[in-house]
Amino acid sequence: MEAIAGTLGLNVPGLIWHAINFVVLLVLLQRVLYRPVVGMLDARAQRVRDSMEQAEQARRAAEQAEADRQTLLAETRREAEQIRARADEQAKRILADAEARAQERQRHIEQQAEESARQIEERVMAQVRAQLADLVVTAVDRVTRGVLDANAQRGLVQQFLTTTTDRAR
């Protein structure tokens, strides 16, 4: 072996020492550096997994919150629709009640107006009858006092009509 090492120009004892140093360095690096680096990488991988799990939990919580919000929104809309329907119903009832009261008031006013018109008509008719009776009495009195000629009769009728018209006004 030395012959081969000599022809190649190798220093075999130095090569052995280098190999021993390399193995010792490799063992030291594995114990001092490799294990802590692997531990650090494992810890980092665990932190990443934990973060991913937390992110997944947060996503699920956000989805649940969105579902809850949608449910609450639907319920709120349903309640708002019910409130609007009740308000419409109440407004219709109030309007119908107001219309009924207005119609009743209108009927009452119409009845009062009819009664008032009837009373006025009765008073006017009573006045006309009284005036007519007075005129008839006057005309009969004039006729009975003397005989009237045709012109006097026409004048008397004309006076009667004028007086009746004036009194009716």
H runs (alpha helix) in the chain? 2-8, 12-28, 35-145, 150-168
Domain that holds residue 119: 2-168
Looking at per-residue confidence, does 93 or 133 come out higher? 93
Q: What is the reported pLDDT for 78?
A: 96
Looking at per-residue confidence, does 105 or 167 come out higher? 105
Looking at per-residue confidence, does 60 or 11 come out higher? 60
First to last CA, the chain: 164
Report the domain count for the chain: 1
The structure's pTM equals 0.42
- CA neighbours closer than 13 Å in the CB half-sphere of residue 121: 6
Tens digit of each residue's pLDDT (9 = 90 or more) over 39-98: 899 999 999 999 999 999 999 999 999 999 999 999 999 999 999 999 999 999 999 999
Looking at per-residue confidence, does 106 or 29 come out higher? 106
Q: What is the reported pLDDT for 5?
A: 57
Q: What is the reported pLDDT for 137?
A: 72
Q: What is the reported pLDDT for 145?
A: 67
Would you say residue 131 has pLDDT above 90?
no
Q: What is the reported pLDDT for 159?
A: 80
Q: What SS3 class is residue 168? A: helix
Would you say residue 6 has pLDDT above 90?
no
Give the burial string for 115-153 (b: 16+ CB within 10 Å, else e): eeeeeeeeeeeeeeeeeeeebeeebeeeeeeeeeeeeee
Q: What is the reported pLDDT for 9?
A: 72
